[in-house]
Amino acid sequence: MTVFQLLMLGASAFFAYKIYEHIQTLKEPEQNSNNNDYAPTDDGQKSAEAFSPFSPEALVEKADIAFEEKDFQKALALLIEANAKEPQDPEILFKIAYILQQSGDNEEAIKYYKEALEVDKENEFIHNSMASIYRKNGEFTSAKMHLHASLEIDNENPITYYNYGNLLVDMHRNEEAIEMYKKALEINPDFNEAREELEKLTAE
């Protein structure tokens, strides 16, 4: 199972909704050229003309399909519209953040992850994703804080131990990283990525 599949586990069932044939004609909201957000109307809301007739649930399911087809732009537009129709839904916010992260827009991704975390404080996947961005940015203290939070929610998630091991390697704390990779493999002996990283460190 891939890291993405684990992250999305429990979010929503992919492919459950058959996409309408005219989805290709779905009009996406107008994008603000100055940033990655979509331009609001004067009252801070999207105009009615920008909306499709689909429900937030249908939009999320269509976004899942677009994501699996690697059409990130369409997936993001669908999720942005779903978020406008149903604000503060942690699943929608998480998926927007994840797509932004995969697209390399980590600054915007963090904003959406934080918003999702305010609604769903016990979501270990959000903490893991935020830790990944902070680690990439060299903000090791913040990354460590979110990994600790993830383990407090679920101390049997091998992904968290694997991510923690990667962070400790970046911090040049290899002995501690070894223990993290061992813990990940103890929980999931088939975790090949953790095994490969462990072998690298123990072979030195």
| For range 161-174, the mean pLDDT | 97
pLDDT of residue 53: 85
pLDDT of residue 54: 86
Q: Cα–Cα distance between 204 and 192 in angstroms, integer?
A: 19
The listed CATH number (3.40.50.720, 3.10.520.10, 1.25.40.10, 3.55.50.30) that belongs to domain 123-204: 1.25.40.10
Residues carrying CATH 1.25.40.10, the chain: 1-121, 123-204
Residue 127 has pLDDT above 60, yes or no: yes
Q: Which residue has the higher pLDDT, 9 or 57?
A: 57
Q: pLDDT digits over 58-77, tens only?
A: 999 999 999 999 999 999 99
pLDDT of residue 133: 97
Q: Indicate the pLDDT class of residue 137, thresholds 50, 70 and 90.
A: very high
pLDDT of residue 21: 32
Q: Which residue has the higher pLDDT, 12 or 101?
A: 101
Residue 167 has pLDDT above 90, yes or no: yes
Q: Which residue has the higher pLDDT, 136 or 30?
A: 136
Superfamily of domain 1-121: Tetratricopeptide repeat domain (1.25.40.10)
Which sign, positive or negative, has the C-alpha torsion 106, 118, 80, 46? Answer: negative
pLDDT of residue 50: 54
pLDDT of residue 60: 95
Q: Indicate the pLDDT class of residue 51, thresholds 50, 70 and 90.
A: low
| For range 116-140, the mean pLDDT | 95
Residue 17 has pLDDT above 70, yes or no: no
Instruction: Tell me what the pLDDT averaged over the chain comes to.
Output: 81
| Bridge partners for 31 per DSSP | 38
Residue 186 has pLDDT above 80, yes or no: yes
Q: Cα–Cα distance between 62 and 52 in angstroms, integer?
A: 12
